[in-house]
Structure 1
Amino acid sequence: MHAVRLHAFGPAENLTYETVEDPRPTAGQVRIAVAATGVHLVDTAIRAGDKGPMPELPALPTVPGREVAGTVESVGAGVPADWLGKRVVAHIGFAPGGYAELTVTDAARLHELPDGMDFAEAVGLIGTGRTTMGILQFAELDEDSVVVIPSAAGGIGTLLVQYAKHAGATVVGLAGGPAKVARVRDNGADLAVDYTDAGWPDEVRAYFKGLGDGGRGDAEGRNAGRGAGGRGDAGRAATVVFDGVGGAVGRAAVDLLGAGGTHVTFGWSGKEGPVTLGEGELAERGITQVNPLGPAMMQRAGGENPVRVLELAALEAYAGGYFTPAVQRFPLREAAAAHRALESRGTSGKVVLIP
Structure 2
Amino acid sequence: MNAVRLHAFGPAENLVHEAVPAPVPAAGQVRVAVAAAGVHLLDTSLREGVRGPAPALPDLPTVPGREVAGTVEALGPGTDPAWLGRRVVVHLGFAPGGYAEYAVADADRLHPVPDGLGPAEAVAMIGTGRTALGILQFAALGPGSVALVPAAAGGIGTLLVQYAKNAGAEVVALAGGPAKTALAAGNGADLALDYTAPGWSAAVRTRYPDGATVLFDSVGGATARTALGLLAPGARHLVFGWSGGELVLTDAEQAALTARGITTQHVLGPAMFQRVATPDPLRTLETRALAEAAAGRLRPALTRYPLAEAAAAHRALESRATTGKVVLEPGLRPFRRKPVGTASG
TM-score (norm 1): 0.90
Answer yes or no: is the 8 Å Cα contact 1:54–1:94 preserved in 2. Answer: yes
Cα shift readout 1:104-131 (whole Å, capped 9, x = no counterpart): 0100110001222111000110000000
CA 1:188/1:34 → structure 2, altered by over 3 Å: closer, same or farther?
same
- Which of 207, 215, 234 is 1:241 aligned to? 215
Rounded Cα–Cα distance in structure 1 between residues aligned with 2:247 and 2:315: 22
Shift of 1:276: 5.1
Shift of 1:315: 1.3
Q: What 5-or-longer segments of structure 1 have no aligned partner?
A: 209-234
Rounded Cα–Cα distance in structure 2 between residues aligned with 1:120 and 1:98: 13
Matched, 1:206 2:206: yes
CA 1:282/1:297 → structure 2, altered by over 3 Å: closer, same or farther?
same
Residue equivalent to 1:229: none
RMSD of Structure 2 on Structure 1 (CA): 1.1
Cα shift readout 1:201-237 (whole Å, capped 9, x = no counterpart): 11111111xxxxxxxxxxxxxxxxxxxxxxxxxx321
Rounded Cα–Cα distance in structure 2 between residues aligned with 1:344 and 1:275: 23
Matched, 1:37 2:37: yes
Q: What 5-or-longer segments of structure 2 have no aligned partner?
A: 331-345
Matched, 1:315 2:290: yes
Residue equivalent to 1:231: none
> What pairs up with 1:126-275 in 2 under 5 angstroms?
126-208=126-208, 235-270=209-244, 272-274=245-247
Answer yes or no: is the 8 Å Cα contact 1:240–1:263 preserved in 2. Answer: yes
Q: Secondary structure at the match of 1:69?
A: strand
CA 1:141/1:176 → structure 2, altered by over 3 Å: closer, same or farther?
same
Rounded Cα–Cα distance in structure 2 between residues aligned with 1:333 and 1:263: 40
Q: Given residue 184 of structure 1, which amino acid in structure 2 is its aligned partner?
A: A
Paired residue total: 328
Shift of 1:299: 1.2
Shift of 1:17: 0.3
Larger Rg: 1
Residue equivalent to 1:300: 275
Moved more, 326-335 or 308-317: 308-317
CA 1:133/1:109 → structure 2, altered by over 3 Å: closer, same or farther?
same
Residue equivalent to 1:342: 317
Rounded Cα–Cα distance in structure 1 between residues aligned with 2:166 and 2:192: 17
Q: Secondary structure at the match of 2:216?
A: strand
Rounded Cα–Cα distance in structure 2 between residues aligned with 1:32 and 1:169: 40
TM-score (norm 2): 0.93
- Which of 285, 293, 297 is 2:260 aligned to? 285
Q: Secondary structure at the match of 1:25?
A: coil
Answer yes or no: is the 8 Å Cα contact 1:36–1:354 preserved in 2. Answer: yes
Q: Secondary structure at the match of 2:74?
A: strand
Rounded Cα–Cα distance in structure 1 between residues aligned with 2:226 and 2:248: 10
Answer yes or no: is the 8 Å Cα contact 1:260–1:286 preserved in 2. Answer: yes
Answer yes or no: is the 8 Å Cα contact 1:250–1:275 preserved in 2. Answer: no
| Runs of 4+ residues over 3 Å off in structure 1 | 274-279
Q: Given residue 65 of structure 1, which amino acid in structure 2 is its aligned partner?
A: G
CA 1:275/1:250 → structure 2, altered by over 3 Å: closer, same or farther?
farther
Q: Secondary structure at the match of 1:301?
A: coil
Rounded Cα–Cα distance in structure 2 between residues aligned with 1:195 and 1:69: 34
